[in-house]
Amino acid sequence: MAISIGRARRHIKDWTARLAPFPTRAKWPLHVFHTCQVEVAVEIIKAGQIKCRDQVDNLICDVANQGALWNNPNAHNYVRLYFRPKNGFHLKTEGVKSTTDPYRVDPHMSVPIAFAFDFEKVLTRADTGFVAGNFAKGGAAPATGDGDFESLNFDLIYHDAPPPREKMEEIHNWRMSEVVAKNALPLTDLSYVICRTPHEERTLRYLLGTHNCPSIIVEQKGSVFMRRGIFVDEIYWSSDLLRMRFHAPTVYPKDKYTVTITCWDGGNPKTQSWELAPSLYNFPSLRASKDAIWKIEIEGCMVYHDRVPSLSGLVA
């Protein structure tokens, strides 16, 4: 096992107490995290497990850093989770990025879904270990045991303030520290499937179809997602019209963004595109019934797919 039950419980007790004054981080020590695009999340939930890269027959929405992918091929035999959300991986891949963003890499997680696993149960499994820093980048073998666990610098792993320039690289690397499970990780130790907004929760549930997943929740207090990219922050049905507002990216914004909407309403799909500034819009040229299915893409990335609710649900 990675660590003993006693050591896992002491970690949770000590760090939940230390982070209690900080609402966005207070629950981090209870969990370890794996985040992926919504279509990948659907495959994971239906399979009842997360598979390592080498055991996935068809990689969809592969957001791995392709430049670092083969630095450590051994990492492909492990399911990889982080001790914390909101690290460099999420900074690079979470949310729709403008087509003018020089750091946009396709594909990326236009609708990110986070799997939060029980810290104690995962860290005390026989087939798990941990890595200080990025597993693929560093090339180190996974460590196990209470002694090696003591060497992890959780002051820096859980650090969430802007780092001083002289320690930036060190802190960013510690934030990427991983928990790894050999070959596959069943969802038996899953605590929550976390969505960024209620609208993205509806998208996940729609794509799941009839498959039940009782642990789906929506993020609270900004504790899991960075929200730096484009996402839908309001969508509803009123006066027989679709109404929608979207959130602009916080970096490399531009005046207008390409919005494409497809509607299925009992016949052939209807698709239209516009160049729109972030605001609240209705779409009279796409009339449909309240039971229509809508797919919304912004900057070429899917951001919503489901029926549209009749009440506004503005994301704070």
pLDDT recorded at residue 75: 83
pLDDT tens for each residue of 45-84: 999 999 999 988 888 877 766 655 666 778 889 999 999 9
pLDDT recorded at residue 70: 60
**For range 268-273, the mean pLDDT:** 95
Measured CA to CA, the distance from residue 309 to residue 18 in angstroms comes to 41
Cβ-contact 111, 203 below 8 angstroms: yes
- Across 11-15, 53-57, 226-230, 268-272, least confident range: 53-57
**For range 276-296, the mean pLDDT:** 94
pLDDT recorded at residue 67: 59
Q: Environment class of residue 66 by beta-carbon count within 10 Å: exposed (0-12), middle (13-18) or buried (19+)?
A: exposed
User: For 230-306, which CATH class?
Assistant: mainly beta
User: Which tokens belong to 22?
Assistant: 């900080």
Place of tokens 């419980």: 9
**For range 207-216, the mean pLDDT:** 93
Q: How do beta strands 216-218 and 190-195 pair?
A: parallel
pLDDT tens for each residue of 120-132: 999 999 999 999 9
Q: Which residue type sits at 50?
A: I
- pLDDT of 316 higher than 60: no
User: Which tokens belong to 269?
Assistant: 């799909």
- pLDDT of 176 higher than 70: yes
Q: Is the pTM of this model over 0.75?
A: yes
User: Which tokens belong to 144?
Assistant: 């196990």
Stated length of the chain? 316
Q: Where along the chain do its domains lie? A: 5-203, 230-306
Helix (H) or strand (E) segment spanning residue 82 = strand 78-82
pLDDT recorded at residue 138: 66
Taking all residues of the chain, what is their mean pLDDT, rounded to a whole number?
92
pLDDT recorded at residue 38: 97
